[in-house]
Structure 1
Amino acid sequence: MEPVGAGSSEPSSGLRYRSYRRRWFILFVSSTLSCSNAMCWLTFAPVADQTAQYFHISMDQVNWLSMIYLVVGVPFGFGTTWILDMLGLKTSMVVYAVPAVIACLLTTVGIRNKVPPTPPSVGAANSTSEPFFTGMKMLLKNKAYLILMICFGGGVGVFTSFSALLQQIVCVRGYSNTFAGLCGALFIVFGILGAFVFGLYVDKTKKFMETTKINFCLTAFASIAFALVSRMRDQPYGLAVVCSLFGLLGFSIYPVGMELGVECSYPVGEATSAGLIFVSGQLQGALFILLLPALARPVTSDGSACQVGVGAALDWTVPTLVLAAICSLEACCFALLFHTEYRRVSAEDNEDASALLHGTATE
């Protein structure tokens, strides 16, 4: 048992809140599982044309290798959300391969309880107070949460389809698979950096809504820039910069958006609120991956670096413009329509004030 840290507090109810260092271990395990998911999901995306040629299949069939991850994630997302909300973290962690095996072993050995012995805050103490189905009903009646679920889920769908289709978009302009993979890596690396920096910022300032709205709108501009630059040949630096900015601005709102979902849906459990946003993103991502290739038009192979299997290389001008339009529409709707109180923050502030008042009265 770890000693109570300086950050521990004792509210008027007598319940002590504390944060455990073991949470960093659980964060590492969860991150490892996410990495194994991403490896399976995007395995063929950077070499989609070579995959199609090797197996003598069409690009649409290759896209299904990415899309099946999204489709299967919808029904299993509801099930996992229920398990996580009702049975706890340890029971919900299972998903394969070397990273998953390591994560499962670490989960089995290192995670002994579904929740910490004592909650770290009043928000954590009350966040799972609502039963799963009651929480679902509350979310579906929450206007602010529904706007967040649709708009932010749409943003997740845009990033998902971008990651899955990036190689197919740029190879027709003469860019190699290696360069497409580099652009995808820059998109992810700068996205992680942005998520880290902006996560720290909102953790200190609590400006969840302002940060998400501004970054969402900037992401829309980045998507427009990508639609324009991806049409050009021999612009590797410009394309790399645009992909980096798209990741930096877009990925940075992912953890902040999830926190915003918790704030506007409190006291519904975090697993339920985040789970519905995840399902929304999966559905919209699958829809975009189905829609965008259907809007592409065949082109001659002159100047193309695509090694197609069945069919011809495709011009992605219209799909990228449509993707930018979707991202812009989602950003505008979110910026104009989404307003909410920070319910969890308010609850914790009220509890802290009550604890201070109680301590003063005791003295």
Structure 2
Amino acid sequence: MPYSNRTSFMTAEQDSPRTSRKTSLEQNPTTNFYHNEIHFYGQSRLHSHQNQHDRSHLSPSSSISEDIESSHTVINGSSQTVYSLPDHDTMHKATTSGKAEADPNHYTTIIDSSTTATTATAASALPEPKTYPIAWVLLFFIVLIRAAVAIFANTFSPIPSVTADFMGISLSSINWLYNTMAICYIVASFFTSYLYKKIGVKWSLFLSGLILSVGCWIRWVAVRINPPSFPILMLGQTIASLSSPISLNIMTTFAVIWFTENRRATAGMFIVSNYGAIIAMFLMPAIATGKDKIELTVIVVASIATVATIPFLFFPAKPPTPASYSVVATETKAGAPAKPELTLRQGTMLLLRNPHFLILLIIHSLNIGLSIAWNGLMNQAIAPYGYTDNEIGNIAAIGVVGGTFGCLMSGPIIDRTKQHKVLLKIMSPLMFSTYIALIFVVKKDSFAAILYTNMLSQFFLSFMVPVCVELGVEISYPVTESLSTSILWQVSQLIGFILVLVMDLFRDVNGEPKDNLYKALIFQAAIAGVCFFFSMIFNGPMARTEALKVQEKAAATAAQSEIITNNTAMSRYHYDSSDTMQTLTETNQARTQHHCKEEV
């Protein structure tokens, strides 16, 4: 009998008796008819329906064979295909009319299943990793809260004289407002990793914004009362400073949760970029034109912090489906290698015993520490050579712009190339060269040279920041991303604070010009040389990337094994639906004829 559609899952072995229609269905009318119930996991069971022998003596209209299941369902993942065997009345009409239906489609909806269906099942077992649009919206508000932190940090540094006059304090006291931030960062960083694990990314960011807002409004109280209170101002400064490590150290943890592997460095690049400093360099002098405008300046900063905090209340804690299947804490279904759960103490000790992480810690800490020290002392290093505050402000602003461009370029390049170590070895000598150049360009009538050298210096060192942070995540595996990042930034702030104190000791009060920091510039270049040296010898393994590759390979192997297992199980119960229907028709025709003869 010709036919076109067959229900065939997989070609069975040639020696298997189930490949023969005659063998599988050559049954006496009084014996069993069989059907297969095939399940997703390849567990197939044979069900039999025993004919009642005395039913063969009933009338022709009801003398058809035993009850046959009218439908079978094969479920593959989320798809469902149904095919139906004929019921009693349909079979009786076909046989008693002497017209055996030639087209098996009359009885069956053939299952279009094979390896493709099973493969789709394995592939769809886990949703495809993706970056949801809301992740970019959330990233925007993280950048906004980071900008608010930077504006807070640079509230008074562009206007030190006006602030000191308004508060009735010295410039050294104004400098301690800046130093307080570094101390708070070091202390608070001890707890950020625990905080992320305890309350999650969403509420950590909200807490950061809340602390920042409270501290900024306390500063407003300090300048609102008469006379202004420096202790209250310092209290608000201290509270608000605690928000900085929470919102900065979270960059890798946030990127892992919300962004796919090829977008994480880009996301981190936006978070670490110092947009707020650029805004503060131009906004603060524009608002605080006199000491009577200090209160307005503080209100503007507090309002920005409050507005940046509120949106985090309305964001989800995590995306609908994972952005990536990174190495998880428990063994995966596919049997991939698992990432062990480490306590905070265990993770810290593991990092401190990791020589590759220690080398990277030196590189990142010296790089960021030099940036902190230079930005803090740049005014004092350049001013003795006759440059005005306006010119120094322009040099600082252009430097921040250069650093921002460095971060903006670094992230996408890392994501595209994945050549972290190569980029580190390229940028570190360029960074080193700019610090050497500063020794020679910081002099009288050299404004343009200082401006461009400082811009290039900030560009190269900022380019290295995402590279080092991503490398920290890679070489510290299986330690959590938040812990390695927190330690990198914590030690960097400590080194920066120390370098400021040490470089200030090189001030030449009797030199030419007076109070110059020429020796400090030489010391600064020497420290940059140490950073360059360790960058050249660094060769840490990409442990996290390798672990992910092993996991993906294991998952693919497990999926393929499941496909083979399922198809092998299906092949054991292989049959052709059209042949089955033909045999059923012929059998029931014979039974009907036999019954009619008995009646006669």
Q: TM-score range by the shorter chain?
A: 0.7 to 0.9
**For the residues of structure 2 that align with 1:300 and 1:357, how far apart are their CA atoms?**
72
**For the residues of structure 1 that align with 2:168 and 2:437, how far apart are their CA atoms?**
34
Amino acid at match of 2:500: I
After superposition, the C-alpha distances for 1:67-95 in whole angstroms (9 at most, x for unaligned) are 11101111111122320233211222223
Pairwise CA RMSD:
2.8
Q: Identify which of 378, 388, 396 aligns with 1:166.
A: 378
In the alignment, is residue 185 of structure 1 matched against residue 397 of structure 2?
A: yes
Which secondary structure state, in structure 1, belongs to the residue aligned with residue 322 of structure 2?
Answer: coil
Counterpart position of 1:309: none
Q: How big is the shift at 1:210?
A: 1.6
**For the residues of structure 1 that align with 2:355 and 2:121, how far apart are their CA atoms?**
34
Which secondary structure state, in structure 2, belongs to the residue aligned with residue 274 of structure 1?
Answer: helix
Q: Where in structure 1 are there 5+ consecutive unaligned residues?
A: 1-8, 303-312
Alpha-carbon distance change, 342 to 49 in structure 1, aligned in 2, over 3 angstroms: same
Q: Identify which of 64, 71, 74 aligns with 2:186.
A: 74
**For the residues of structure 2 that align with 1:273 and 1:261, how far apart are their CA atoms?**
6
Q: How big is the shift at 1:21?
A: 2.3
CA contact (8 A) 1:135 1:268 kept: yes
Amino acid at match of 1:142: N
**For the residues of structure 2 that align with 1:73 and 1:13, how far apart are their CA atoms?**
45
Matches for 1:164-313 after TM superposition, within 5 Å: 164-230=376-442, 232-298=443-509
**For the residues of structure 1 that align with 2:326 and 2:398, how far apart are their CA atoms?**
36
**For the residues of structure 2 that align with 1:56 and 1:99, how far apart are their CA atoms?**
26
Q: Where in structure 2 are there 5+ consecutive unaligned residues?
A: 1-119, 214-301, 330-338, 565-600
**For the residues of structure 2 that align with 1:346 and 1:192, how far apart are their CA atoms?**
31
Counterpart position of 1:314: 515
Count how many residue pairs are aligned between Structure 1 and Structure 2: 341
Amino acid at match of 1:152: H
In the alignment, is residue 328 of structure 1 matched against residue 529 of structure 2?
A: yes
Counterpart position of 1:119: 322
Amino acid at match of 1:70: A
Counterpart position of 1:28: 140
**For the residues of structure 2 that align with 1:281 and 1:174, how far apart are their CA atoms?**
32
Which secondary structure state, in structure 2, belongs to the residue aligned with residue 122 of structure 1?
Answer: coil
Q: How big is the shift at 1:266?
A: 1.7
Which secondary structure state, in structure 1, belongs to the residue aligned with residue 432 of structure 2?
Answer: helix
Counterpart position of 1:153: 365
In the alignment, is residue 339 of structure 1 matched against residue 539 of structure 2?
A: yes
Q: How big is the shift at 1:33?
A: 2.2
After superposition, the C-alpha distances for 1:170-203 in whole angstroms (9 at most, x for unaligned) are 1111112122122112212111212221221121
After superposition, the C-alpha distances for 1:215-248 in whole angstroms (9 at most, x for unaligned) are 1221111111123211x11111111110110011
Counterpart position of 1:99: 304
Counterpart position of 2:154: 42
Which secondary structure state, in structure 2, belongs to the residue aligned with residue 24 of structure 1?
Answer: helix
Amino acid at match of 1:319: A
Counterpart position of 1:310: none
CA contact (8 A) 2:365 2:495 kept: yes
Amino acid at match of 2:552: D
**For the residues of structure 2 that align with 1:62 and 1:235, how far apart are their CA atoms?**
29
CA contact (8 A) 1:298 1:315 kept: yes
Q: TM-score, normalised by structure 1?
A: 0.85
Q: How big is the shift at 1:53?
A: 7.0
Amino acid at match of 2:446: Q
CA contact (8 A) 1:219 1:249 kept: yes
**For the residues of structure 1 that align with 2:386 and 2:353, how far apart are their CA atoms?**
49
**For the residues of structure 1 that align with 2:199 and 2:451, how far apart are their CA atoms?**
44
Q: How big is the shift at 1:57?
A: 5.7
Q: How big is the shift at 1:37?
A: 2.2
Which secondary structure state, in structure 2, belongs to the residue aligned with residue 297 of structure 1?
Answer: coil
Amino acid at match of 2:155: T
**For the residues of structure 2 that align with 1:156 and 1:254, how far apart are their CA atoms?**
8
Relative to its length, the structure with more helix (as a share) is 1
Q: How big is the shift at 1:42?
A: 3.0
CA contact (8 A) 1:195 1:254 kept: yes
CA contact (8 A) 1:10 1:355 kept: no
**For the residues of structure 1 that align with 2:168 and 2:556, how far apart are their CA atoms?**
70
Q: How big is the shift at 1:211?
A: 0.7
Amino acid at match of 1:220: F
Matches for 1:4-15 after TM superposition, within 5 Å: 14-15=125-126
After superposition, the C-alpha distances for 1:65-123 in whole angstroms (9 at most, x for unaligned) are 2211101111111122320233211222223223321221011122x31x434332232
Which secondary structure state, in structure 2, belongs to the residue aligned with residue 119 of structure 1?
Answer: coil
Alpha-carbon distance change, 234 to 329 in structure 1, aligned in 2, over 3 angstroms: same
CA contact (8 A) 1:208 1:256 kept: yes
**For the residues of structure 1 that align with 2:499 and 2:193, how far apart are their CA atoms?**
24
Q: How big is the shift at 1:332?
A: 0.9
Counterpart position of 1:3: none
In the alignment, is residue 109 of structure 1 matched against residue 314 of structure 2?
A: yes
After superposition, the C-alpha distances for 1:283-326 in whole angstroms (9 at most, x for unaligned) are 01111111212211225998xxxxxxxxxx62111112111111
Stretch of structure 1 that moved more, 129-138 or 263-272: 129-138
**For the residues of structure 2 that align with 1:87 and 1:10, how far apart are their CA atoms?**
35
Percent sequence identity is 25
In the alignment, is residue 83 of structure 1 matched against residue 286 of structure 2?
A: no
CA contact (8 A) 2:424 2:535 kept: no
Counterpart position of 1:305: none
CA contact (8 A) 2:403 2:462 kept: yes
Counterpart position of 2:12: none
Which secondary structure state, in structure 2, belongs to the residue aligned with residue 45 of structure 1?
Answer: coil
Q: TM-score, normalised by structure 2?
A: 0.53
Which secondary structure state, in structure 1, belongs to the residue aligned with residue 387 of structure 2?
Answer: coil
CA contact (8 A) 1:74 1:279 kept: yes
Amino acid at match of 2:481: E
Question: Which one has a bigger Cα radius of gyration?
Answer: 2
**For the residues of structure 2 that align with 1:292 and 1:92, how far apart are their CA atoms?**
36
**For the residues of structure 2 that align with 1:22 and 1:292, how far apart are their CA atoms?**
45
CA contact (8 A) 2:384 2:516 kept: yes
**For the residues of structure 1 that align with 2:388 and 2:326, how far apart are their CA atoms?**
49
**For the residues of structure 2 that align with 1:273 and 1:122, how far apart are their CA atoms?**
20
**For the residues of structure 2 that align with 1:13 and 1:67, how far apart are their CA atoms?**
54
Q: Identify which of 528, 538, 551 aligns with 1:351.
A: 551
Amino acid at match of 2:311: L
